[in-house]
A and B are shown apart, each in its own frame.
Chain A
Amino acid sequence: MSHKTDVIIIGAGPVGLFAVFELGLLNLKCHLIDNLDKIGGQCSELYPEKPIYDIPAYPKIYGQELTDNLMLQVKPFEPVFHLNQQAESILKVNDGWQVDTTEGTIIVAKCIVIAAGAGSFVPRRPPLENIKIYEGKSIFYSVRDRSKLKNKKILIVGGGDSALDWANDLASIADVTLMHRRKEFRAAPVSVSKMLKLEEDKKIHFQLGQLSELIGKDGLLKKIKYTHEEKDDLIDVDFLFPFFGLKMELGPIASWGINLHENLIKVDTEKFETSVPSIFAIGDINTYPGKLKLILCGFHEAALMAQKCFTYCYPDKKNIFKYTTSSKDLHKKLGV
């Protein structure tokens, strides 16, 4: 799919979302790209239920609540989201940039705003020797093709929602073992009781333990060595699914020719523009003298960045600064 817009925002966390608002006030339309399957970035993925105390005018607000409120705030500007995909490459085109994603989405825009936080969320890889040889062949971090798993010996490791949901799901078609370091789970209680019932009915085997060694050949697993209470044991395995949550990596952005400093993007503090004109970086991903990684700083950066984006998108127009309290024009845009 190919799209054209004014600004491409990479990262749909709180700062990317507020950028939609600031750009929207200036009549600039946005498309957002995020590697997660949901909107909200770290706020929704890492700490949806943890309170944040330093958002101005909110003595206490939860990560998910902040995301939900921002979504309400940007609704009038009709942002378009491209989730479950990573911005893979950028290309300079006639009057702006083309961004290609890992899912084949192509977006063309005048400006790019990188609001990618600490980078893309990617699955956490267990620190086991030779694990990369097996990945994509017999070790997977998500279930893509259920049919290949039919009647196979599957080991799922972890105690969160992904681990339990997939153990419960695959128990009907495969020989499933769920391994976790303790018999307590942070997954939703309903998934936990379902799993315990399946275990009781001998449809799932539960094993206490932690992964310690992969045994196989040419990327095909045969056995896995695991440890429990300082004792090792082996289990026969065709496929392994480790579910240890997600971690953040800068990813392809590092190869786009933008000046970096220790995996952060250098910007000026007037426009928050990178070393490449018309590419901006706001929020936790940027760095400048005195930088603080706070959501409120990212909001400020979004407002200033938007002013400069306007000049790239409308080079012949003069931007007259207006307040949302008094401007009839802004009220119209906000639908109030």
Chain B
Amino acid sequence: MGTLKVKDRDGLIHELNAKSGSTIMEIIRDAGLDIEAACGGCCACATCHVYVTNDKIQKLKLIDDDEESMLDQAFSVLNNSRLGCQIEYSDDLDGMELTLAPE
């Protein structure tokens, strides 16, 4: 168990409980925050676009071709852009800070 800090589109920060085995998208969606995740998490849309805003980004697996090309359908893509469905939470990501991308 750990915590994710997620900033929503109104700038509010939510501390979410995170359990290993879930993806970041699932944790954000199940907490009731506004993340569309239209395809349900199979990397077939870009509606779970998030920014990773602290140094936990270095703990993540590098972005693969699938995720990179789905990000082409996202808006305002930055160097710290990721798709939430492609990041599986594990305890070394405890304390990760994220911001929901605009839509």
Contact of A293 with B38 in the complex, beta carbons under 8 Å: no
With an 8 A cutoff between CB atoms, is B62 at the interface? no
Interface string of A180-194 (1 = CB under 8 A from B): 111011100000000
- Interfacial chain B residues near A186, Cβ < 8 Å: 69, 72
B: contact size bracket: 20 to 34
Known: A180-B72, A245-B46. A47 touches B77 (CB 8 A): no
- Interfacial chain B residues near A211, Cβ < 8 Å: 75
Known: A127-B103, A247-B38. A47 touches B73 (CB 8 A): no
Interface string of B33-70 (1 = CB under 8 A from A): 00010111010111100000000000000000000110
Instruction: List A residues 203-248 near B (Cβ within 8 Å).
Output: 210-212, 244-245, 247-248
Contact of A244 with B76 in the complex, beta carbons under 8 Å: no
A interface secondary structure, majority: loop
B interface secondary structure, majority: loop
Complex alpha-carbon distance, A324 and B67, angstroms? 44
Instruction: List A residues 103-134 near B (Cβ within 8 Å).
Output: 118, 124, 126-127
Complex alpha-carbon distance, A211 and B75, angstroms? 8
With an 8 A cutoff between CB atoms, is B102 at the interface? yes
Contact of B40 with A293 in the complex, beta carbons under 8 Å: yes
Nearest Cβ distance between residue A134 and chain B, in whole angstroms? Answer: 16
Q: Which residue of B lies closest to A163 (CB)?
A: B72
Contact of A159 with B72 in the complex, beta carbons under 8 Å: yes
From B44, B71, B73, B77, A124 is in contact (CB under 8 Å) with: B73
- Interfacial chain A residues near B72, Cβ < 8 Å: 158-160, 180-182, 185-186
Contact of A118 with B38 in the complex, beta carbons under 8 Å: yes
Q: Which residue of A lies closest to B72 (CB)?
A: A159
Complex alpha-carbon distance, A244 and B77, angstroms? 12
With an 8 A cutoff between CB atoms, is A50 at the interface? yes
- Interfacial chain A residues near B45, Cβ < 8 Å: 46, 245, 247
Given contacts A118-B38, A184-B69, A210-B75, 16 further A-B contacts (CB under 8 A): A46-B39, A46-B44, A47-B44, A50-B42, A124-B73, A127-B103, A158-B72, A158-B73, A181-B77, A184-B68, A186-B69, A244-B74, A247-B38, A247-B47, A248-B38, A293-B40
**11 A-B interface contacts by CB (under 8 A):** A46-B45, A118-B38, A127-B76, A127-B103, A160-B72, A181-B71, A181-B77, A184-B68, A210-B75, A247-B36, A247-B47
